[in-house]
Every structure is written in C-alpha cells, then in structure tokens.
Structure 1
Amino acid sequence: MEGQLSADNLKAHEAHLKESSIQPDSTVVEGATSSSKSSLGAKKMGTPSNKLSLKDRLTLGGHSSMDDKKSDAGSGSKLSSSMNRTRFSRLRTKLKMQSLFGASLSKTGSESGHKPIKSLENTYKVEPEEGTQFSIANAEKIMTNVFEAYLKGRQYDAKKFRLLSKSLADMIKERVKQSGIVRYKIVATVLIVEDCGQSVRLGSRCLWDTTYDNQATVVFKGDGFEAVGSVFATFFA
C-alpha cells in the first residue's frame, strides 16, 4: 500500500509540473505586460530614445538648419542696421561741415581746392639771391597805392574802418609777397584812427638781422582820419 501511494504521489507530482509548464505564472505575465505598456506610454509621451529613425533624423536636422539660418539672418540684419547708422552719422557730420564753411567737402584735397604738400630739401642758403631782396621803396609804393585806391574820398566810420583795416593789411601783405622777394616772412599791419587834433605816436622794435631784414611805413591822411601802414620783412635762412 505504501508503495502504491508513493507511486500515485509521484504521478500526481509529475502531472502538476506539466500543468505549471503549460500555463505560465500569472505574475510573470502581468509584469511583462506592464513593462510593455510602460514602454509604449513612454514612446507616446515623446521620451527620447537612443536609436532614431531616418525620418526623425531628417526632421531634427531640418529644424537645426532652419534655426541656424534664422540666427544668421538676425546677425546680418543687426550688422546692416549698424552700418546704416554709421553712414547716417557720417552724412550728418558732412552736412554740418558744409553748412559751417559754405563749401562742398570732398575726399581728395585737389577737389576741395587744397594744394598738395610738397617736401623740399634744405638749400643751406644764408642770404637772399640778387634781385630777391626786400625793397623798402617798393613796399612803400604798394601801401600808398592801396590807401589811395580804397581810402581816398571816404569819411571816417568806426564800424566800417575796423573791418577795412584788416582787409587792407591782407591785401598789402599779398602784394608785397608777389613783388619778387623770395624766402621772406611778411607781416603787414594797418591802423586807422580818427583825427580830432590829438597826438598819436606809434613805435615798434624788432630783433633781427639788419643786413637782410627791414621794414617800411606809410602814413595816409584822409577826411577826418589817418591811416598808418607798416610792413615787416624777415629773411628765412
């Protein structure tokens, strides 16, 4: 009896093992299904994965290139706006200079009327050449002609003569320079005072070489005024 019971128990045990192998454990199946559901949910939520499909790669690459183009376009627009502001400021400065000086400004000096600067070598000359010295008689003649041309027949006017004296001094200086002298620094002054019976004295002192440097003075008497013109010439050795 005991042998039969043990054999029956063995058969029952084997049958139980077969059933367990055919029907898997519910816990294992439930765990597997839950894990698969979680992975599907993660895919639906957009969790990034290590392996991307070709479509995803192309999509991501397209977005990145579009972003790069947008950034390049933004930087280009900023650069163009800064260049426009710089050009506008330069144009505004140029217009201000034109309004102040009343002449058009150009890039080159020749167009604006300025002569190019010439570099000259030293001549080592310590005295003027023959015929290029300062002449007192010639300077006095120039001043007399200027006074007679612009002051003869005029009456004294403090406002007008204040500006006229400066113009006459510049005119005398230019005419003396063009009289044939070379390498001389010319300084010309014109003083016009009202003649009311008063006494007027003018004096000047100069530190120069008396051999080649000299000065000339002319007094012109007009209608109620006197004009005194002086020219000082200094040789540049």
Structure 2
Amino acid sequence: MEGQLSTDNLKAHNAHLKESTVQADVTAGATSSTKSSNKMSLLSNKLSLKDRLTVGGNSMDDKKSDGGSGSKLSSSMNRTRFSRLRTKLKMQSLFGASLSKAGSEVGHKSVRPLENTYKLEPEEGTQFSITNAEKIITNVFEAYLKGRQYDAKKFRLLSKSLADMIKERVKQSGIHRYKIVATVLIVEDCGQSVRLGSRCLWDTAYDNHATVVFKGDGFEAVGSVFATFFA
C-alpha cells in the first residue's frame, strides 16, 4: 500500500508539474503576443502619423514648396499688372485722356490667310497720296503739340506715340497693299541749324513719301511717312 501510495503521489506530482509548465508556456506566449501587438500598434501609430504628414498631401515641405511657387506666381502677376498700369498711366499723362478697352484690343484681331492676287500695281483710288499724308501729319501735330513747351522726358515718349498714331491713320486712309513707315523727330530750338536726309530704294512709279515740319514753343517737330507698295 505504501508503494502504491508513493507511485500515485509521484504520478500526481508529475501531472502537476506538466500542468504548471503548460500554464507557464501559455502565459509566456500571451505576454509575447501582447508585446508583439504593442509593437504593431506603435508601428501603426507611427505609420499613420507619417501618412498624415506626407501621404495626405499636408506635409510641411509640400506646404513650403506650394507656398514658394504660389508666391512667385503671384509676384510675377503683380509685376505684369503693375507694368500694364504704368504704361496706361504714362499714355494718359501724355495725351490727357483715358484709354478705352476697345482701343487697346484693336491690335489683337485674328489674321485671315488670303490667296495670292499676283497684282503688280495698286488699284485705282487705293494709291498712296502725299496730300492726304501731309494732312494727317499736320492734324496730329496740331492736336498734340500745339500750345506745349519743350520737355525732353515727355517728348521722348511722345514722339514714338505720335509716329504710331500717324502710321495707323495713314493705313486707314484708304490705301491697300502698302508698307508704311512713320518717323517723328522733336528737337529743341536753340537757334541751331538741323538738316535731315533720307535715301530709299523703291519703285518711283508707286512708292513715295510725305514730310511735315511743325514749329512749336521752343521746339520743332519733323514727321515723315514712307510708303512702299507690297506686290
């Protein structure tokens, strides 16, 4: 009986040891799983934070780059608007009148391609007229130079504007297929002598020019128009 009891006690002791080892393994596995889950949660938190910073498109670098590009674009647009406004104000100060949008958009008309006409001479009534060109130059000078005093800074810009105006008015006077070149020279009258000369290589039958001299208050203006037939 004592041998059986000792044997039974040994079996019970061994079973108790096995149960304790199994429980220890289970607890170790649980702790390792909890550690691994904690690591995974930390990694997920880090990844989510990184995603929020970079993948979502709200990173500091993107904001800086977007802000830099936006600031450059806005500054370039402001410079363009400022230059246009400055040019408009200069024209208003020179001519003393406001410029309309319709007049500024005249030069943006679409160009329509045309077939060759093979015409070697202008049609009747569309030739360049010296008399009409002289009238145009005289009217422009009297409208914008009469009663003015010589000003080197203003007249430097005004001479270019008057030349463009004379050229456009001559083009709209009824001539066709002519290349027009207009020049305006304004010099201060200090009692000196001024001589101007020009040479042209053209067809004397259809090409010609017109020149007008205007005497103002302390200055003289010379306007010339050269017209060559474009065959």
TM-score category by the smaller chain? 0.5 to 0.7
Matched residue, 1:76:
56
| Structure 1 segment 84-233 matched on structure 2, within 5 A | 85=67, 90-102=73-85, 113=105, 115=108, 117-127=110-120, 128-152=122-146, 154-233=148-227
Matched residue, 2:94:
none
CA distance, structure 2, for counterparts of residue 232 and residue 182 of structure 1: 14
CA distance, structure 1, for counterparts of residue 109 and residue 52 of structure 2: 46
Matched residue, 2:96:
none
Q: Deviations over 1:124-163 (max 9, x none)?
A: 4443332222112211122223333444455544444434
How many residue pairs were aligned?
207
State the identity as a percent.
55
CA distance, structure 2, for counterparts of residue 102 and residue 190 of structure 1: 25
Matched residue, 2:90:
none
CA distance, structure 2, for counterparts of residue 92 and residue 161 of structure 1: 32
TM-score by length of 1: 0.62
Q: Deviations over 1:52-102 (max 9, x none)?
A: xxxx9xxxxx999999877765533528x7597466654454334323322
CA distance, structure 1, for counterparts of residue 17 and residue 169 of structure 2: 117
Structure 1 residues not aligned, in runs of 5+: 1-14, 49-55, 57-61, 104-109
Return the offset for 1:42: 0.7
CA distance 1:40–1:193, change in 2 (3 Å): closer
CA distance, structure 2, for counterparts of residue 23 and residue 157 of structure 1: 128
Return the offset for 1:25: 5.8
Return the offset for 1:210: 3.4
Farther off after superposition, 179-188 or 62-71: 62-71
The structure whose Rg is larger is: 1
CA RMSD of the aligned region, Å?
A: 4.5
Matched residue, 1:35:
21
CA distance 1:180–1:228, change in 2 (3 Å): same
CA distance 1:116–1:152, change in 2 (3 Å): closer
CA distance 1:24–1:119, change in 2 (3 Å): farther
- 1:46 aligned counterpart, secondary structure: helix
